[in-house]
């Protein structure tokens, strides 16, 4: 798949950029945005054919606001992509770790490297919008004493020197990205995973009964996140990811959920890419 317009959060060298290139090819046109909402909007209005969006990390957990964006902009999850995350500590060439007074990166990257950072208490930590953006700013502004936590590709692109490699606390660190599009299309291959939302009616034991039914229908829930329904006190919506072997059983589970438990909205049916 090539020649498409792909919306991402971040700039060249970011993890989103890596996923976009790996999934769609080098000849894709990458549209970059500072935050996630413009990514969703670009796909919704047709400015981009596809969007790449991080949805959860194996260490830091789910990025709940991104589930809300998929919902509000009525986007469809076409596929998923698991990217192994390796964080590098980088700065202008010729410096040592002892010279660094400030490190900036995306808050999730800082969280994933907390053990390394705890060993260097002289370094102040600062949240930023994107890993690669910090690397570019250090290079553009010739910022000495400042480090970025970003990818090896970002160091290459912006001419920085890696002072410490693979500093993430857990070495088996993956981020799950989803590939978004505007409209539902036929799935790639045989779907065995789905993302959906169920808004549960206010009834005693409703969630427990729902989860039991989903289990009996062969759905293996890999993610469940709850948010309150703003205009309906004491009602909650649950964002769920589920894997299944039998697509017909999945459809039956969705029909039963709609009939007995509340409103169902399916965000995507696709193949699980988890290794």
Residue reference for tokens 């400030």: 102
Q: Which two tokens stand for residue 96?
A: 């040592």
Nearest to 139 by CA among 172, 178, 195, 91: 91
CATH architecture entry for 193-270:
2-Layer Sandwich (3.30)
Q: DSSP secondary structure string, 138-172?
A: HHHHT-TTEEEEE-HHHHHHHTPEEEES---SSSS
- As a whole-number percent, the residues of the chain with pLDDT over 90 amount to 79
Q: What is the DSSP letter of 98?
A: G
Kindly report the CATH class assigned to 88-164: alpha beta
- pLDDT exceeds 70 at position 2: no
Q: How many CB atoms lie within 10 A of CB 38?
A: 17
Reported as a pLDDT band with limits 50, 70 and 90, residue 232 is confident
Residue reference for tokens 């949805």: 55
pLDDT value of position 171: 85
pLDDT value of position 155: 97
pLDDT value of position 176: 95
Query: From the CA atom positions of the chain, what is the Rg in Å?
Result: 21
**Mean pLDDT in the chain?**
93
Can you point out the beta strands (E) in the chain? 5-9, 29-33, 50-57, 61-62, 76-84, 88-91, 102-105, 124-127, 146-150, 161-164, 174-181, 193-200, 220-228, 236-243, 262-270
Kindly report the CATH class assigned to 5-84+173-181: alpha beta
Judge whether 88-164 and 193-270 match in fold: no
C-alpha torsion angle, residues 207, 238, 56, 38 (rounded to 10): 180
pTM of the full predicted structure?
0.86
- pLDDT exceeds 90 at position 6: yes
Reported as a pLDDT band with limits 50, 70 and 90, residue 104 is very high
Domain ranges of the chain: 5-84+173-181, 88-164, 193-270
pLDDT value of position 108: 87
């Amino acid at each position: 798949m090539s020649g498409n317009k792909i919306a991402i959060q971040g700039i060249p060298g970011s993890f989103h950029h890596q996923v976009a290139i790996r999934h769609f090819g080098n000849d894709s046109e990458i549209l970059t945005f500072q935050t996630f909402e413009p990514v969703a909007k670009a796909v919704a209005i047709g400015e981009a054919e596809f969007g790449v969006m991080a949805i959860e990390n194996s260490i830091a957990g789910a990025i709940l606001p991104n589930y809300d964006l998929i919902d509000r902009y009525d986007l469809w999850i076409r596929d998923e992509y698991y990217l192994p995350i390796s964080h590098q500590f980088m700065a202008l060439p010729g410096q040592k770790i002892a010279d660094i007074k400030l490190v900036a990166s995306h808050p999730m990257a800082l969280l994933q490297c907390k053990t390394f950072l705890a060993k260097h208490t002289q370094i102040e930590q600062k949240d930023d919008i994107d890993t690669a953006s910090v690397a570019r700013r250090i290079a553009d502004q010739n910022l000495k004493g400042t480090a970025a936590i970003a990818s090896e590709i970002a160091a290459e692109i912006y001419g920085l020197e890696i002072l410490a490699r693979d500093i993430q606390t857990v070495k088996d660190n993956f981020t799950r990205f989803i590939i978004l599009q505007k409209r539902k299309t036929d799935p790639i291959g045989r779907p065995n995973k789905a993302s959906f939302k169920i808004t549960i009616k206010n009834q005693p034991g409703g969630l427990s009964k729902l989860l039991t039914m989903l289990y009996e229908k062969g759905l293996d829930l890999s993610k469940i996140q709850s948010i309150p329904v703003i205009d309906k006190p004491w009602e909650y919506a649950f964002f769920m990811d589920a894997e299944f072997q039998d697509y017909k059983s999945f459809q039956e589970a969705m029909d039963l959920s709609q009939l007995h438990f509340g409103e169902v909205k399916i965000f995507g049916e696709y193949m699980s890419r988890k290794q």
